[in-house]
Structure 1
Amino acid sequence: MAKNVGADGRETWSSSTGFILAAVGSAVGLGNIWRFPGVAYDSGGGAFLIPYLCALLTAGIPILFLDYAIGHRYRATAPLAYRRMAKKTEALGWFQIVLSFVIAVYYAAVIAWACSYFVYAFDLRWGQDTLNFFVGEYLQVGDPEISTTIVPAVAIPLVLVWIAVLVVIALGVTNGVQRINVIFIPLLFIAFIGLVLRALTLPGAAEGLNALFTPDWSALADLSVWIAAYSQIFFSLSIAFGIMVTYASFQKRKANMTSSGLVVAFANSSFEILAGIGVFATLGFMAHQASTSVGELEGLTGPILSFVTFPAVINEMPGGTIFGVVFFASLIMAGFTSIISILLGVAASVSEKFGLSSTMSAILVSVICGTISVTLFSTTSGLLALDTVDQWANNIGIVVSAIAMAILVVWVYRRSELLRSHLNAVSTFKVGRWWIAMIGIVAPVFLSIMLIDKLRSLIMDGYEDLPQWYLGLFGWGTIAFVLVGAAILTMIPWNGRDKADFTPWPPLGDRAEEEARR
């Protein structure tokens, strides 16, 4: 398949469908399957859908539109797009890209676990004691330390994951990223619908759904429930860390951006609700088998749900082998489409900054990421390091990025009206000035509350009883690494595409934009 190239010489998606499937592939990831159901259950059950929908409409979709507007108007990955918008904001772009680099490094390890468990599902190799198998025999988890002991069962699939990522990214936007999403996303939805239908036929499924959807209306008065809703929407849409800016930059000049964004946002939320139904119908079966209630079960969210609780359910389920194979194949597809979106932004940014070919950049970035990933996360300390880095990268790094993006665009450089005009010039669904209020006031206010709450918790209470030196190294050290990396990359002179030869389209006659370009 030949590459699609736009009038400006930039590679493009072959169609809006290709872009939408790729964006859905980025948004629908592991967190949709193992995070949303548990968060909903802990946050009021059916009542949680009200703050969830509010968060989607007031923060998720508006910030998604903001990412789209920046990427599509300035035709570049986050660092160069921000630089073209206003020179001093380049550092924010690099903050997002270095953050993506960090997330990719540990995210690949979880995909490797899913690959191992996909193989194990054929003979239910995890046995009856699924917890001890996961943390003991498989991951060989030890004390919090910096371990150099490689676990072959993790390292081998992890290397294979990085080889696959390298191949897809090196093939480019059309032949690599788009093609894999066109195949994987329909398969993922078909597979997961099959899992849900099977789960609904299990004894106890109704009790599981009642546990998930029975509303606790008093939860709506709890601020933490609203924070949880904004947190879930925010983390599940792949916004504010450069991914959607990059994806939008590969859209054709005349592309219906807002309508595509609505499809992506609602497809992502639909999958989360579908995952909630499947997960809790399955947990209802597990509770039925144990003659207990869903509320008495442990491991209702995160990796423990996928790699401990679900294998235990599969052991008891008629036809469990088939269910397990399809479930872990779904995890692989969801994770893989997300990681290639993360790495595409990193590789394309390096290509633009240093003037490298897309293939050379893909090889360089994948080799560096893969080496760090195998070195840190295939060891006996990999699980603890991964969990710690993930907490700080997601709950601190991405939230800081979004707040900074909203403040710089709306209040400091006042580009919100220009970007709104751009979206309306190329899209059928027009956004009004309400959009500026959402990205400039509502979203940053809720995100700031989230950030303050999480900072207070991490500073005062620590995390998972881990020693302070460990949290300092893998937690706060992650944020320091992102900040220093962003500063260094910003100071390096541009050897590739800069903004001098770029003219935004369509011309909107914005004087501030012209001055920024000069």
Structure 2
Amino acid sequence: MMMTSMLTMDKGENEGERDKESLRTLMVQQTSLDRPRETWSKKMDFLLSVIGYAVDLGNVWRFPYICYQNGGGAFLLPYLLMAVFGGVPLFYMELALGQFHRSGCISIWKHICPIFKGIGFAICIIALYVAFYYNTIMAWALYYLLSSFRATLPWSTCTNPWNTANCNRYMSSDHNVSWSNSSTSPAEEFYTRQVLQVHLSPGLHELGSISWQLALCLLFIFTIVYFSIWKGVKTSGKVWIDAAAQIFFSLGPGFGVLLAFASYNPFHNNCYKDALVTSSVNCLTSFLSGFVIFTVLGYMAEMRQQNVDAVAKDAGPSLLFIIYAEAIANMPAATFFAIIFFLMIIMLGLDSTFAGLEGVITAMLDEFPHMLVKRREWFVFGLVCVCYLGALSTLTYGGAFVVKLFEEYATGPAVITVVLLEVIAVSWFYGTNRFCNDVQVMLGFYPGCFWRVCWVAICPCFLLVSGMHSICTLTLSCISCSN
């Protein structure tokens, strides 16, 4: 009798807890629905915005280079595993969080775990200094685009004022022209000596003057950005470590963008399906970019009679502005394809910039609604001005060094740390069961065992290992620089 009564009591307590949890979820749902909030004009606007954010310049140059550096096809296995067990679960988690709580990356923590509110401010800071250098790459692309409107592309010949004696157009009709170790291509000299003018700066310790041409290009880019987002969303092992880093950077959890975009969705929108569709498009785009760059690198290595290693010696934007540009210069109708290509680069970058700044804007407007909501246009204007002023160091003669510094050492460890803290806060403090109940209220089904295990254990482990690797790499780099 005593055992029976104890079992009955336990059962009653469990049912009571479930009832309390259901009541809490319904109250949160009602509060979310009662808050007036702008929404997307239609579902396709949301999907295209998320895809535009996830598919960015990194898909064009970062994925192919990392894939090549880590064994080509052999890299695809860890990349896919990291996508399935790390990137997509985090992508799904952020969409669900933003949609349920209808909040940006700062104010959302008062619903989840207030002690982690600092994560939101960290996300905004990261988004700001990403804007300091990311848009500069689009300014370079705009310079190339404007330079493409001529019969002969300026990076296709060695007869320009910026060319040196080492310039060698090895792909000309004169097949007797040979390539040597001291040779430089006209595309490389146009990029380094005319666009960047990096030869006028010895390094980070002496950046030199600001290039007024690039400053005007960047001003035009930020003008487009402002008038696109001022009104709101209606208008706008090492192989394994590299695979994890590429997935997190490519899909973009941890930047506050997914939280912001999802917060404008209808409450019962199927964010699970959205996560699968958008992440699949992103990964397929990376694969396509990889196939293209490998083809171009192989062709150029054959023409130079060099190994592919020698052709692909640099990572980052040089793949766009030297390798791709040189290949385009040797195509029929080179001017047309150059215009199309660099216009595409600008479009890819603009989508991600819109999203990144919208993440900051949504976070600040949700956190300080009485102060900023009615002054959104002025706040956006001030934010764009801050980003432009912060980017001035990247427009100097040594600006390429600053871009490389930000790209390789500033963003990676910070983003990985933020995402690690985010998934720990949601899974371990807010609670996976509570989060899954929220998803069930929105979507009508409870997340499966696979997603729960990923959120609780697999994603934190992946992020912890990646973060430790990044910190160790930075430490070793600092030691080597000091020596």
Matched, 1:438 2:467: no
The whole-number CA distance in structure 1 between the counterparts of 2:330 and 2:478 is 37
Matched, 1:366 2:423: no
1:409 deviation in Å? 1.7
Contact 1:28 1:271 survives alignment (8 Å): yes
Aligned to 1:385: 402
1:312 deviation in Å? 1.9
What amino acid is aligned across from residue 406 of structure 2 in structure 1? V
What amino acid is aligned across from residue 87 of structure 1 in structure 2? P
What amino acid is aligned across from residue 160 of structure 1 in structure 2? F
2:298 corresponds to which of 244, 266, 284: 284
2:423 corresponds to which of 406, 422, 434: 406
The whole-number CA distance in structure 2 between the counterparts of 1:86 and 1:270 is 35
Aligned to 1:256: 270
* Structure 2 unmatched runs, 5+: 1-31, 158-185
Aligned to 1:333: 347
The whole-number CA distance in structure 2 between the counterparts of 1:348 and 1:393 is 23
The whole-number CA distance in structure 1 between the counterparts of 2:482 and 2:246 is 27
What amino acid is aligned across from residue 362 of structure 1 in structure 2? V
Aligned to 1:345: 359
Contact 1:235 1:394 survives alignment (8 Å): no
Q: Map residues 32-431 of structure 1 onto 2, 5 A cutoff.
A: 32-123=59-150, 124-128=153-157, 129-141=186-198, 142-143=201-202, 144-145=204-205, 147=207, 149-174=209-234, 176-177=235-236, 223-299=237-313, 301-354=315-368, 355-357=371-373, 358-373=376-391, 375-411=392-428, 413-427=429-443, 431=447
Structure 1 counterpart SS, 2:136: helix
Aligned to 2:19: none
RMSD: 2.2
The whole-number CA distance in structure 2 between the counterparts of 1:269 and 1:397 is 23
Contact 1:257 1:426 survives alignment (8 Å): no
1:29-82 Cα distance to aligned partner (Å, 9 max, x none)? 000000111111222222222111111110111111111122112111100012
The whole-number CA distance in structure 2 between the counterparts of 1:265 and 1:453 is 25
1:159 deviation in Å? 0.5
Structure 2 counterpart SS, 1:12: coil
Matched, 1:12 2:12: no
The whole-number CA distance in structure 1 between the counterparts of 2:445 and 2:52 is 23
The whole-number CA distance in structure 1 between the counterparts of 2:355 and 2:227 is 13
1:6 deviation in Å? 7.5
Point out the more displaced range, 442-451 or 428-437: 428-437
Contact 1:170 1:359 survives alignment (8 Å): yes
1:377 deviation in Å? 1.6
- What percent identity do the matched residue pairs reach? 27
Contact 1:6 1:12 survives alignment (8 Å): no
* Structure 1 unmatched runs, 5+: 178-222, 470-518
Cα distance change on mapping 1:114 and 1:64 into 2, 3 Å: same
> With structure 1 as the length reference, what TM-score do the two structures score?
0.76
1:312-361 Cα distance to aligned partner (Å, 9 max, x none)? 22222233222222221111111000001000111222223332132222
Cα distance change on mapping 1:383 and 1:292 into 2, 3 Å: closer
1:193-215 Cα distance to aligned partner (Å, 9 max, x none)? xxxxxxxxxxxxxxxxxxxxxxx
Point out the more displaced range, 146-155 or 83-92: 146-155
